[in-house]
């Protein structure tokens, strides 16, 4: 009776285990010391397009390209020798050639005497997450490439005016070796007080009122003492829900343009002065010429309209 009860308990335990491993949204497998599959749940079999009967007893070289099989075999051997857990994300090639990304957890399998008798693995599909991560990495690469190559000064700040990020050009202007050296610092660490008041006022409008400024012209004294004119554009930095968490901006050197404008203004003033001098000259000359001419014309008319005496 006890034997039958023990056998029934064993069958119940096996049924419970079978139900558990088949209901989990995971791929489960187990291999012996020779790398042969001794267990594979239905999800793992379906992912490779084979039946369990076809899977059991096979090795990685029967299921995957040699390059992947070499990797899996090396990993398994290291796990069994070191008895350490392996957790990683790796590519997984399906029979139709499609590449999927899976998160893998492999551990040694022990017998009742704590001897390593194989390796077991659990993995699940993380292709969507991995593709999102790769897309994010690509976007970061594009953004970093843009920030590092653009010659204008670009900055991002939080609501307290602390730098979140600057590009390489801005870091150079601030006298920093790396853009990361600016993180956490504020304008007060780099600029004089007269410019700080202007910065604070502009950023307050952007951060607290959401007002953008485009092409605001400012004369800046940089930490190295150089001064130049810049056109600054500031815009609020918003979260997806619309909350303003800071500001970002671009400042463009317009010193040459400003000098050209000043030269043009000076030329215009000089031209206007010359024109006014010419007008004054002509007015004066007209007056000087007109007065004697009037006398001559008047006397001539007088002579012509009267009888001439001997003296006339």
**pLDDT score of 154:** 94
pLDDT in the model for residue 3: 76
Predicted confidence at residue 156, as pLDDT, reads 95
What's residue 312's pLDDT?
64
For each of the chain's 312 residues, which pLDDT tens digit applies? 677 777 777 666 666 667 666 767 889 999 999 999 999 998 889 888 899 899 999 999 998 888 889 999 999 999 999 999 999 998 877 667 778 888 999 999 999 899 999 999 999 889 888 889 889 999 989 988 888 889 999 999 999 999 999 999 999 999 999 999 999 999 999 998 878 888 888 999 999 999 998 988 888 889 988 988 999 999 999 998 999 999 999 999 998 887 777 777 777 877 788 778 788 777 777 777 877 888 888 888 877 777 777 776
Q: What is the 3-state secondary structure (H, E, C) of the chain?
A: CHHHHHHHHHHHHHHHHHHHHHHCCCEEEEEECCCCEEEECHHHHHHHCCCHHHHCCCCHHHHCCHHHHHHHHHHHHHHHHHCCCEEEEEEEECCCCCEEEEEEEEEEEECCCCCEEEEEEEEEECHHHHHHHHHHHHHHHHHHHHHHHCCCEEEEEECCCCEEEECHHHHHHCCCCCHHHHCCCCHHHCCCHHHHHHHHHHHHHHHHHCCCEEEEEEEEECCCCCEEEEEEEEEEEECCCCCEEEEEEEEEECHHHHHHHHHHHHHHHHHHHHHHHHHHHHHHHHHHHHHHHHHHHHHHHHHHCCCCCCCC
What is the reported pTM? Answer: 0.57
């Amino acid at each position: 009776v006890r034997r039958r009860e023990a056998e029934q308990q064993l069958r119940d335990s096996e049924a419970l285990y079978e139900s558990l491993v088949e209901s989990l949204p995971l791929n489960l497998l187990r291999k012996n010391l020779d790398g042969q599959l001794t267990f594979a749940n239905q999800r793992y079999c379906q992912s490779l397009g084979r039946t369990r009967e076809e899977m059991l007893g096979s090795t990685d070289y029967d299921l995957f390209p040699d390059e992947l099989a070499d990797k899996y075999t090396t990993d398994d051997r290291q796990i069994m020798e070191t008895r350490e857990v392996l957790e990683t994300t790796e590519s997984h090639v399906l029979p139709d050639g499609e590449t999927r990304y899976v998160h893998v957890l492999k551990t040694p399998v022990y017998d009742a005497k704590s001897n390593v008798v194989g390796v077991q693995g659990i993995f699940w599909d993380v292709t969507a997450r991995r593709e999102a991560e790769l897309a994010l990495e690509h976007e970061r690469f594009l953004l970093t490439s843009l920030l590092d190559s653009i010659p204008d000064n670009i900055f991002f700040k939080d609501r307290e005016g602390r730098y979140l990020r600057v590009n390489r050009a801005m870091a150079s202007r601030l006298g920093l070796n790396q853009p990361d050296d600016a993180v956490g610092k504020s304008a007060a660490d780099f600029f004089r007080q007269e410019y700080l008041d202007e910065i604070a006022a502009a950023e307050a409008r952007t951060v607290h009122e959401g007002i953008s400024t485009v092409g605001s012209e400012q004369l800046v004294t940089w930490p190295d003492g150089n001064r130049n004119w810049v056109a600054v554009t500031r815009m609020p930095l918003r979260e997806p829900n619309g909350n303003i968490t800071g500001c970002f901006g671009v400042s463009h050197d317009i010193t040459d343009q400003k000098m050209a404008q000043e030269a043009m203004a000076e030329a215009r003033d000089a031209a206007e002065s010359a024109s006014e001098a010419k007008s004054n000259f002509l007015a004066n000359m007209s007056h000087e010429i007109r007065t004697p001419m009037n006398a001559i014309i008047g006397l001539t008319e007088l002579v012509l309209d009267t009888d001439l005496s001997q003296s006339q």
